[in-house]
Amino acid sequence: MEDYQKCKAYRGNVIYSKNKDTLISKENSYMLVCEGIVKGIFKELPNGFPKENIIDWGNKLIIPGFCDMHVHAPQFLQRGMGMDRELLDWLKTYTYPNESKFKDPNHAREVYSLFVDELLRQGTLHVNIFPSIHYEASEILFEILEQRGLFAFTGKLNMDQNSPEYYIEDTEKSLVDTEKFIQKHQKDGNVKVSIVPRFTITCSEKLLAGLGSLSEKYGVPVHSHMCEAVNTIKVSQELFPDYKNEAEIFYQNNLLGQRPTIMAHCIFMDDEVLKLMKNPSCMAVHCPDATANINAGGIMPVKKLLEMGINLAIGSDIGSGANLSIARGIASTIQHSKIRNMFDSQWDAVTLPEAFYMATRSGGRYFKNVGAFEEGYCFNALVIDDSNMPGEGFTPVERLERFCYLGDDRNIAMRYILEKEILV
């Protein structure tokens, strides 16, 4: 008889993505978990399984924890502000003054603690984060993420041009500090380091080339913005006339696809950009609420990119996004695709399985074995209690859809990271 003393069985309605088209739904089933790792899902438990190791969630849903694959931690306090501005004006008026305050370590610790608390409250257990340019504040963010147990990537933000004098770096110091940060945090653990050039407008060619060399030297992934808005693309072309597009700027400087690369927004991609982004090491992050709030001039063609096989995920992108809920992001992704379909009928609207896949398993590919419940995956899970929503006879998948449209953090009964209960 196998020894199940170190295992637990979580009973409920288990839902996860098999692929972009298929949701696996196992009603009234037991998920067997041993030392934080999923061993399988069963209708009946093996003979001899200890009853005291059964955690019975009854009729509740058990789903993978969400992945927020593009979010600005320093912008947590500016959510919902300046939503009538265009992007570059919004950055100048709100974002740069706000982010400059993170020079103060006490301010950084206070805000980043609130930020991480809210991530967990909203069910985000895996996150890819933009910091500020400040080394000490970035250290504080890394430390808080480790303490709270999230799976995360973050680094030290880089920007050395076209930025206000109170919020800009010397190129060489930016590279030295980035290498120092990488060397300190290049270790095993669930929080890992990334290279974070803000975007092409605020990074000189020398800085981008230096960051590309560091990415190659240490094997560090890259996180930035690309093809976000009509006006940013125009300015980028003026600054880098020797390159065809923003993707080529990153690619030629060793920052696109040579290592795992996440690019936020990716709304305006021509065929040459799409070819580079089809690299399996690349991922584009759809930030629907942010796109709607700070008008980018378009909507990501999500359905087209999914069918092309480009890796996609969802990001809250606070502060231009106003809510850290990725469940809300699932609903917004579907809604935006319907609006796009009104003007481009070639592509159908995004389905619930596709959007849920982006928010869990697809985003989770950036980490190791998260975002699903197959054997060998981490038990990073949410328990959803939708008993406050009236109605009977709905399937678990229908209830999941309803949660994404109607629910909020109060419907999350429990959060698990590697089987550990996370309290908020």
Q: Which of 32, 29, 66 is nearest to 363 (CA)?
A: 66
What element of type H or E holds 106?
Answer: helix 105-121
Residue 102 φ/ψ, nearest 5 degrees: -80, 5
Enumerate long-range contacts of 331-336, CB under 8 Å, 24 or more apart. 331/355, 331/404, 331/405, 332/288, 332/289, 332/292, 333/286, 333/288, 333/302, 333/358, 335/288, 336/288, 336/291, 336/292, 336/299, 336/300, 336/302
pLDDT in tens, the chain (424 residues): 467 888 999 999 999 999 999 999 999 999 999 999 999 999 999 888 999 999 999 999 999 999 999 999 999 999 999 999 999 999 999 999 999 999 999 999 999 999 999 999 999 999 999 999 999 999 999 999 999 999 999 999 999 999 999 999 999 999 999 999 999 999 889 999 999 999 999 999 999 999 999 999 999 999 999 999 999 999 999 999 999 999 999 999 999 999 999 999 999 999 999 999 999 999 999 999 999 999 888 899 999 999 999 999 999 999 999 999 999 999 999 999 999 999 888 889 999 999 999 999 999 999 989 999 999 999 999 999 999 998 889 999 999 999 999 999 999 999 999 999 999 9
CA-wise closest residue to 41 among 80, 72, 70, 10: 10
Per DSSP, 20 falls in state T
CATH among 3.40.228.10, 2.40.30.60, 3.20.20.140, 3.50.50.60 for 66-364 = 3.20.20.140
196, 157 Cβ separation under 8 angstroms = yes
Taking the domain 7-64+371-422, which CATH number applies? 2.30.40.10
Structure tokens at 131: 């910091």
- In the chain, what are the domain boundaries? 7-64+371-422, 66-364
Q: Which residues of 222-246 are buried (b: 16+ CB within 10 A; e: fewer)?
A: bbbbbbbbebbbeebeebbeebebb
At 278, which amino acid appears? K
